[in-house]
Amino acid sequence: MNRIFVLIVLISARVPFAQSNNVNYDEAKVPVFDLPDPLILADETPVLSSQIWLEKKRPEILTYFEEQVYGRAPRWEHQITFQIREQQRGALDGTALRRQVRIYLLGSTSGPFIDLLIYLPAGLDKPAPLFVGLNFYGNQTIIDDPAIFLPESWVDNEPEYGITDHKATEASRGVREYRWPVRQILARGYGVAAIYYGDIDPDDEGRFDNGIHPWFYQPGQTHPAADEWGAIAAWAWGLSRAMDYFQLDADIAADRVIVMGHSRLGKTALWAGATDQRFAMAISNNSGCGGAALSKRRFGETVKIINTVFPHWFCDNFNAFNDQEEKLEVDQHELIALMAPRPVYVASAQDDLWADPRGEFLAAQAASPVYQLFGLQGLPTEEMPAVNTPVMGTIGYHIRTGVHDVTLYDWEQFMHFADLHGMNR
Ligand code: GTR
C-alpha cells in the first residue's frame, strides 16, 4: 500500500516538472556561466602535455565526478566467474553466433549475476569488435529470437509489453528491435552484446535495498554514503564486468569494444567509458542532463529536476548543486574529455529539447582542447551542424530530426564513426 502511494507520488512528480514554466527552453534565458577549463589544474597550473593530462588533470576530474556526481564504485576484489548457458552457431538464419553468458558478480553461483547476450557475425576468422549496451526491458526485447533467456530480475511495468507485475514476458520479445538493428550491425562486421540494466540495479526509484548495492554495504549500512555509487555508477560498473568477460572470450576483440547507450543509459555509457579505459569508444545517444549536456546552461532538464525525480541515479553529494550549478567544479564537457584520446560520439535529436541538444554539442566542442593535446582533432566544427549533418573528428556529433529515441539513422552514424576509427580492422 505504502509502496503504491510512493509510486503514484513519484510518477505525478514528473508531470509538473516536465510541463512547468520553470523549465527553460529559451536560449535567451540561459544564464551566463563559466565553463571549467579542462587544461588548468586545480592549483592553476596549465596542462601543457598529454602526459600531464593523463597523470594529473584526468585523475583530478575523475575524482571530482566520482565524489560529487556519480558516486564511487567499490573496488573490485572478486574473481569473476562466468557460465556459458547457451550458444548456437548459425543463429539468426545462419548470420550469427549467439552466446548467452551468466556472469556471477561475486564469483559464486549463490551471489548476484547478470545475463549477457552476445551475437557475433557468423563465420568470422578473427575476433570481432562489438557494440555493448544496456537495455531497459530485457535482452529478449532487442530482437525477436525465442532462444533469448528472459531476465529474472525486477522489470519496470509496461502494459504495452505485457509487463504488469515487474516480470519480463514472452510478449516483450523483439519489442525494442527498432532500437537495435542487430542484423545490420552483424552485416557490418560488428558483434552486439546486451545486458538488461535491472540485472545490475533495478531502476526503481529511491531504492537501494536491491540490486548490487547491498552486497557492498558495511555492517548496518542501508544506503550508499553521500559519495558512494548511485544507480548510474552501478550500471557502468556492470558494463565493466561484461568487459571482464570480453577479455576472456577469444572470439571477441576486447581492444575494440564500443559502449553505447541511450538516455539514462547514454549517461551510463559515458561514465563507463570514463571509469574504464578498456572501452575503446563510447557513444552517448540523447543522454542529456548528467550525460553529454552542460549542466551550467540550465536548459531543459536541470540538476535539481533530475535529482528530485530520480533521487537514486547520482550520489547524494550531487544534491548540493540543485539550482547551484555554478558551484560545480566540473561540467559535462569534462566527462566527454575523460574519453581522450579514445573516440567518443554524441548524438542529439532536434525535438529532444529536454536533453538540451545545443548543450550536448557545446560539451562535445569544449572537450576538444583535450584531444588537441594528443595531436588529435576533437570536434571538427566551430558551429553547431545542421540537422542530419554529422561531423566526425575523434569526437563526433550529430543532431538528427525527430524525437528522443534511437533510430537506424543514429546507428548508421555510429557504425560509420567506428569504421573511421579502425574499430573493424
Ligand atoms: C527522463 C529523464 C532523462 C532521461 C530519460 C530516459 O525522464 O528526465 O534524464 O534519462 O528519462 O532515460 O529515458
**pLDDT tens column, 175-186:** 999 999 999 999
Give pLDDT, residue 14: 42
Q: How far is the CA of 289 from the centre of ligand 1 (A)?
A: 8
Q: Name the average pLDDT for the chain.
A: 94
Q: Taking 50 as the threshold, does the pLDDT of residue 385 lie above it?
A: yes
CB within 8 A of 415, min separation 6: which ones? 184, 185, 188, 190
Q: How far is CA 296 from the centre of its chain?
A: 21
Nearest to 278 by CA among 99, 48, 76, 56: 76
Core vs surface per residue 363-386: b (16+ CB within 10 A) or e: bbbbbbbbbebbebebbebeebee
Query: Is residue 391 pLDDT above 50, yes or no?
Result: yes
228 is written with which cell numbers? 558512494
Q: What is the CATH number of the domain that holds 388?
A: 3.40.50.1820
Q: What is the pLDDT of residue 5?
A: 36
* Grid cell digits, residue 308: 528530485
User: What is the distance between the alpha carbons of residues 199 and 209, in angstroms, rounded to a whole number?
Assistant: 14
Torsion angle, alpha carbons of 352, 162, 166, 231, to 10: -20
Query: What cell does 297 get?
Result: 546552461
Contact 332, 363 (CB under 8 A): yes
C-alpha span between 418 and 141 (Å, rounded): 24
**Does residue 299 contact residue 358 with C-beta atoms inside 8 Å?**
yes
Q: Is 4 inside any structural domain?
A: no
Query: Tell me, what's the pLDDT at 20?
Result: 54
Q: Which of 2-6, 157-161, 169-173 has the lowest mean pLDDT?
A: 2-6
- Atom index in ligand 1 nearest the CA of residue 265 equals 12
Is residue 337 a part of any domain in this protein? yes
Nearest CA to ligand 1 atom 12: 264
What are the tens digits of pLDDT across the range 29-79? 999 999 999 999 999 999 999 999 999 999 999 999 999 999 999 987 778
Q: Rounded to two decimals, what is the model's pTM?
A: 0.95
Testing ligand 1's pocket by substitution, the residue of 310, 348, 405 carrying the most ligand atoms inside 8 A of its CB is 310
Q: How confident is the model at residue 330 (pLDDT cuts 50, 70, 90)?
A: very high
Candidate list 50, 263, 287, 295, residue with the active-site label: 263
User: Considering 78, 223, 404, 416, which one is annotated as catalytic?
Assistant: 404
Whether 5 is in a domain gets the answer no
Cell reading at 2 = 505504502
- What's the domain range around 309? 12-420
Q: Which residue has the cell 514472452?
A: 170
What value does the mean pLDDT take over residues 13-33? 75
Pocket of ligand 1 (CB under 6 A): 263-264, 288-289, 301, 306
Give the chain's domain count. Answer: 1
263 is catalytic: yes
Active site residue 404: yes
| CA distance linking residue 390 with residue 420, whole number of Å | 13
pLDDT at 7: 36
Output the pLDDT for position 208. Answer: 85
Residue 2 belongs to some domain of the structure: no
Instruction: Tell me which of 42-46, 201-205, 281-285 is least confident.
Output: 201-205
- E strand or H helix at 87: strand 81-90
Q: What is the mean pLDDT of residues 368-391?
A: 97
Task: List C-alpha distances in Å: 186 to 30, 132, 252, 253, 383.
Answer: 43, 13, 13, 14, 34
Q: How far is CA 31 from CA 24, 298, 307, 325, in A?
A: 10, 7, 20, 10
Whether the pLDDT of residue 9 is over 90: the answer is: no
Please report the atom of ligand 1 found closest to the CA of residue 289: 9
Residue tagged 524525437 (cell numbers): 403
Q: What is the mean pLDDT of residues 249-274?
A: 98
Residue 93 belongs to some domain of the structure? yes
Strand order in the sheet with 113-121: 81-90, 96-104, 113-121, 191-196, 128-135, 252-262, 281-285, 344-349, 395-400, 391-392
Instruction: Kindly give the pairing relationship between strand 252-262 and strand 191-196.
Output: unpaired
Please report whether residue 319 resides in a domain: yes
134-151 pLDDT per residue, tens? 999 999 999 999 999 999
Least confident of 207-211, 215-219, 271-275, 316-320: 207-211
Mutate to test the pocket of ligand 1, among 19, 134, 197, 264 (most ligand atoms within 8 A of CB): 264
* pLDDT digits 0-9 by tens, 65-117: 999 999 999 987 778 899 999 999 999 999 999 999 999 998 899 999 999 99
Assigned domain for 84 exists: yes
